Amino acid sequence: MLIGASLKMYFSHARTLAWVREVAGIVAEHPAVAAGVRPFVLPQFPSIPACAEIGAAAGLAVGAQDLAAEDEGPYTGEVSGAVLAEVGCSLVEVGHAERRRLFGETDDVVAAKLAAALRHGLMPLLCVGEDRAGDAAAAVDACLRQIDAAVGPARAAGLTGPVTVAYEPLWAIGAPEPAGPDHIAAVCGALREHGGQAQAVIYGGSARPGMLADIAGSVDGLFLGRFAHDPRAFGAILDESADVLRAQAEVSR
């Protein structure tokens, strides 16, 4: 189970390190991690090396919010997958709706970035989601198109490695409430059944404490946003994760 947060561009470097230290302290002693939860954080680029150093001993994985499609060359301002791996990243976000909307990333760009991540041993967190609230079937169709467009070229090129899909309906990103549990379960369950292109499906889009138990049977974790700005909320979700894993273990006995 993956439980993690993108800090986007909300925190200063100092606040980022303070947040990571506090969360690492929670993670290091939390039974959910021993039970199989993999916690992660995606800070801004300059904070990554220090965060990776803090997180390593606690088992808190660190990733990046973006990467370049190219591995090296005259690409001013870009950061390559090779350098991200070198400074301690193990995963990287690809194709977030804000990257598409604000920076014009197309399906082809997302596919190239996902391939770059796999070339350097980084697990892509591929963000997918529908534009408008509607029925689950339409959402599944939209997400599957995005998954196939992003992952298909990499697989065709022989690139292996795990890919995690982060289902984030665009209409729920930054909203007061996440999508309803029935909608999330229907969409994420269908994406998991699709298999092949992705190894795990997590939910984002105003994900918050208190929702995991309602959708746990259909997701492999949560991708948190602003609700995790308080480290105690991150800890609360780890508490819920431990409860879910404990209940699943009881059922499987």
**234-244 pLDDT tens trace:** 999 999 999 99
pTM of the model: 0.95
Q: Establish whether 98 is a catalytic residue.
A: no
Question: What is the DSSP code string of 184-236?
Answer: HHHHHHHHHHH-SS-SEEEE-SS--TT-HHHHTTT-SEEEE-GGGSSHHHHHH
* 140-161 pLDDT tens trace: 999 999 999 999 999 999 999 9
Residue of 79, 184, 163, 172 whose CA lies nearest to 121: 163
Q: How many CB atoms lie within 10 A of CB 195?
A: 9
**Residue 146 parent element (H or E):** helix 136-156
Q: Which of 30, 93, 96, 183 is catalytic?
A: 96
**What 3-state DSSP class applies to 74?**
coil
Q: Which of 130, 168, 183, 240 is catalytic?
A: 168
Give pLDDT, residue 163.
Answer: 96
Q: Establish whether 96 is a catalytic residue.
A: yes
- The stretch 201-206 carries a mean pLDDT of 91
Residues with Cβ within 8 Å of residue 17, at least 6 apart in sequence: 47, 50, 51, 54
**Residue 6 parent element (H or E):** strand 2-6
* Tokens at 251, concatenated: 């059922």
Confidence of residue 107 (pLDDT cuts 50, 70, 90): very high
Q: Of 61-65, 86-90, 125-129, 178-182, where does mean pLDDT reach its minimum?
A: 178-182
Can you name the CATH fold of 2-247? TIM Barrel (3.20.20)
Domain boundaries, the chain: 2-247
CA distance 178 to 36: 25
